[in-house]
């Protein structure tokens, strides 16, 4: 009743692939890693699990899977305005497949190197394919971006474009298609689903300026809903301003809006900014974010449509607009 002992080899394997940081006093290979937090900062941590057939398809490219597992965690650090530093990996594998491991670790390493995050610990066990990654970063405590601090009158923004990942998922499930999409479009969407970009630089640029932030993992309405619930405010969203990729701009507008509002996995940031900082933020993040609405004292979310009419949304998220 012990794990496959050969699995300890994996740690050695992964260890070489990530950044090497001065603030890691002791990395992989002891009972604990020892990590140094810079003065006047606090540690930000988040753990996420991805399970085969729940969060990813069994036939996903292992390199993309490795990339995505880490991206999901880094996106949480981005949403706090934190700098990424270290991660741990708990990997449960049905078998020791060296080709799979090599490609999975390459995907992880690609992202780890890009953001200078170091793998500092892990556990490898035998069992159904399950991947838990905990990310660690640091942030000045007064500058951390929380969910419960949006204020009435704040401007509402999102980074990047919305709905790409959700559309890719529905395409892959063969539950939706649009004749306007060519092969390159579908490749682009799939890349957005499998290799999301954690918005770390943007998060750090927002730290101390934005009044709240969250990353969009469950869909704009659901995640904005978390900000609104925790901050006890409402919002008005201008549907005409939802940022769509050139690919999603080709498809039926109603469907594109639904994906943008409800589908998860985009890993963009949704954030609010006090009106007096909005110009500064828009200049600092030119082209990287879009103003999509305003925080109000409404009860929940209202949409503003093409005709400038207000439409109430009952509740937030998935249940109300099934794709």
Applying CB under 8 A, which residues contact a copy of itself? 1-3, 5, 25-26, 29-37, 39, 42-56, 76-77, 79-80, 82, 88-90, 92, 120-123, 125-128, 130, 132, 134-137, 139, 141, 144, 146-148, 169, 173, 213-215, 218, 230, 264, 318
Nearest distance from C-beta of residue 307 to a copy of itself, angstroms:
33
Nearer to a copy of itself, 30 or 306 (CB): 30
Half-sphere exposure of 42 (CA within 13 A, CB side): 10
Nearest distance from C-beta of residue 244 to a copy of itself, angstroms:
22
CA distance 304 to 204: 30
Nearest distance from C-beta of residue 147 to a copy of itself, angstroms:
5
Query: Which positions ≥6 away from 163 have C-beta within 8 Å?
Result: 242, 244, 245, 248, 256, 257, 258, 259, 260, 261, 263, 266
Residue 313's H or E segment, with its range, is strand 310-313
Half-sphere exposure of 23 (CA within 13 A, CB side): 17
Nearer to a copy of itself, 293 or 317 (CB): 317
Nearer to a copy of itself, 76 or 268 (CB): 76
Nearer to a copy of itself, 29 or 240 (CB): 29
- Token reading at 57: 């398809």
Nearest distance from C-beta of residue 141 to a copy of itself, angstroms:
6
Query: Which positions ≥6 away from 164 have C-beta within 8 Å?
Result: 188, 189, 192, 193, 245, 247, 248, 259, 266
Nearest distance from C-beta of residue 41 to a copy of itself, angstroms:
9
Nearer to a copy of itself, 74 or 235 (CB): 74
CA distance 311 to 323: 19
Nearest distance from C-beta of residue 114 to a copy of itself, angstroms:
20
Nearer to a copy of itself, 49 or 205 (CB): 49
Backbone angles phi, psi at 214, to 5 degrees: -155, 155
**Burial class of residue 129 (count of CB atoms within 10 Å of its CB; 0-12, 13-18, 19+):** middle
For helices 98-114 and 62-80, the axis angle rounded to 10 degrees is 30
CA distances from 124 to 94, 101, 176, 197 (A): 11, 12, 37, 26
Is the Cα dihedral 98, 103, 104, 109 positive or negative?
positive
- Token reading at 246: 């050139």
Nearer to a copy of itself, 10 or 302 (CB): 10
Nearest distance from C-beta of residue 309 to a copy of itself, angstroms:
31
Nearest distance from C-beta of residue 313 to a copy of itself, angstroms:
18
Nearer to a copy of itself, 214 or 256 (CB): 214
**Burial class of residue 228 (count of CB atoms within 10 Å of its CB; 0-12, 13-18, 19+):** buried
CA distance 111 to 117: 8
Nearer to a copy of itself, 37 or 275 (CB): 37
Nearest distance from C-beta of residue 279 to a copy of itself, angstroms:
26
């Amino acid at each position: 009743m012990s794990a496959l002992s050969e699995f300890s080899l994996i740690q050695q394997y992964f260890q070489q692939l990530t950044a090497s940081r001065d603030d890691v006093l002791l990395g992989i290979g002891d009972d604990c890693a020892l990590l140094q937090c810079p003065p006047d900062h606090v540690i930000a941590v988040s753990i996420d699990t991805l399970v085969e057939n729940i969060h990813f398809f069994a036939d996903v490219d292992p390199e993309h899977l490795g990339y995505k597992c880490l991206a999901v965690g880094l996106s949480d650090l981005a949403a706090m305005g934190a700098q990424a530093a270290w991660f741990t990996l708990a990997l449960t594998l049905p078998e020791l497949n060296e080709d799979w491991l090599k490609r999975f670790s390459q995907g992880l390493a690609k992202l780890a190197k890009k953001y200078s995050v170091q793998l500092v610990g892990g556990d490898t066990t035998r069992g159904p394919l399950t991947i838990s990654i905990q990310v660690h970063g640091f942030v000045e405590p007064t500058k951390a971006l929380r969910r419960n601090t949006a204020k009435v009158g704040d401007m509402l923004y999102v980074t990047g474009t919305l709905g790409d990942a959700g559309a890719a998922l529905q395409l892959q499930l063969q539950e939706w298609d649009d004749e306007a999409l060519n092969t390159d479009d579908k490749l682009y969407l799939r890349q957005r689903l499998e290799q999301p970009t954690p918005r770390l630089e943007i998060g750090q640029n927002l730290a101390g300026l934005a009044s709240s932030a969250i990353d969009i993992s469950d869909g704009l309405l659901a995640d904005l809903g978390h900000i609104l619930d925790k901050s006890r405010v409402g919002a008005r969203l201008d549907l005409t301003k939802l940022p769509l990729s050139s690919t999603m701009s080709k498809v039926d507008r109603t469907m594109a809006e639904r994906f943008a509002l409800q589908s998860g996995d985009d890993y963009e940031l949704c954030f609010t900014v006090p009106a007096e900082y909005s110009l500064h933020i828009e200049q600092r993040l030119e082209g990287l974010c879009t103003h999509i609405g305003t925080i109000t004292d409404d009860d929940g979310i209202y949409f503003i449509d093409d005709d400038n009419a207000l439409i109430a949304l009952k509740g937030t998220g998935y249940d109300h607009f099934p794709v």
